[in-house]
Amino acid sequence: MILYLVACAAGPTQYVDEGVRQAQARGWDTCLVLTPSAARWWEPRLAELEGLTGHRVRSQYKLPGERDALPKADAMLVAPLSCTSLNKWGNGVADTLALGLVSEGVHLGVPVAAMPYFNRAQAAQPAVARSIADLRAQGVLYLDGPDGYVSHPPKQGSPGDYPWHAAVDAVTKLAEAVRRPGGRTGEPGPGASGQCS
């Protein structure tokens, strides 16, 4: 089973290798997709992540005619999801490969979960509640509150304590539910945004 772990430029992304290891421990063949800003954080060590996953780390759309670099996803987990990417995704803006993949994936029948990481001041923006509601209406499992991540106070927080295990457990349960008879169906494919690219 293939999991796309999609990470935005939020504090816990500096520990995304832990997220990969947690997913692998649960049996996922994990492909890592980073937003361009998050990729800059890992630029000196991208080879380390590629060695860990066994796949290229992707952060940019492929060029016309370029072959897909990753296998098809059986599930996608956006963790950590930044406030900026949440609001772009909720408003249908797919200006990065990361957002393009999940925007298409959820409408191709791929189970998609997302766990945020941003502070309460950002969470107070009116657009945040609208974006969360829009994602949930599309079928995204948004993990906040007792079932996910509780936003931390302004200018505080502990990125190293991000609950990767809870995010991975949730997407694993979601994927298992979809595979059961009566679950959502859909055949993900490459798509215009470069699924697996």
From the list 169, 73, 61, the residue with the least C-alpha distance to 115 is 169
Task: Give the residue from 69, 85, 86 showing the smallest Cα distance to 4.
Answer: 69
- pLDDT given at position 190: 34
**DSSP state letters, 43-108:** GGGHHHHHHHHSS--B-SPPPTTPPP-SPPPSEEEEEEEPHHHHHHHHTT---SHHHHHHHHHGGG
Question: Would residue 188 count as lying in a domain?
Answer: no
Answer for the pair 175, 74: CB distance below 8 angstroms, yes or no.
yes
Q: What percent of the chain has pLDDT over 70?
A: 91
Measured between alpha carbons, how far is residue 195 from residues 43, 66, 120, 160 in Å?
22, 12, 33, 30
What is the CATH classification number for the domain harbouring 75? 3.40.50.1950
Domain assignment present for residue 119? The answer is yes
pLDDT at 148: 86
Query: Which residue has better confidence, 44 or 186?
Result: 44
Q: Is the per-residue pLDDT at 75 higher than 60?
A: yes
Has residue 187 been placed in a domain? Answer: no
Say yes or no to pLDDT of 96 above 80.
yes
- Residue scoring higher pLDDT (155 or 93): 93
- Would 171 be classed as within a structural domain? yes
d(CA 157, CA 97): 28
C-beta neighbour count of 30 within 10 angstroms: 23
Average pLDDT of the chain to the nearest whole number: 89
* Residue 76: pLDDT over 70: yes
| pLDDT-based confidence at residue 63 (cuts at 50, 70, 90) | confident
Does the residue 65 lie in any domain?
yes
Q: What is the mean pLDDT of residues 86-91?
A: 97
Residue 55 in this model has a pLDDT that exceeds 60: yes
pLDDT at residue 188 greater than cutoff 70: no
Angle between helices 126-138 and 83-90 (to 10 degrees): 60
CA–CA dist 83, 8 (Å, integer):
9
Number of domains the chain contains? 1
- Higher-pLDDT residue of 187, 151: 151
pLDDT one-digit tens code per residue, 2-16: 999 999 999 999 999
pLDDT at 183: 62
Backbone angles phi, psi at 126, to 5 degrees: -55, -30
Pick from 111, 166, 162: which is nearest to 139 by CA?
111
**77 and 168 in contact (C-beta within 8 Å)?**
yes
- In this predicted structure, the answer to whether residue 36 has a pLDDT above a threshold of 60 is yes
Whether 24 is covered by a domain: the verdict is: yes
Please say if the pLDDT value at position 73 is more than 80.
yes
In a domain, 197, yes or no: no
Residue ranges making up the domain that contains 115: 2-179
Q: Which residue has the tokens 């080879």?
A: 47
Residue 9 forms part of a structural domain:
yes
**Taking the chain, what is the end-to-end CA distance rounded to the nearest angstrom?**
17
Q: Is the pLDDT score of 140 beyond 90?
A: yes
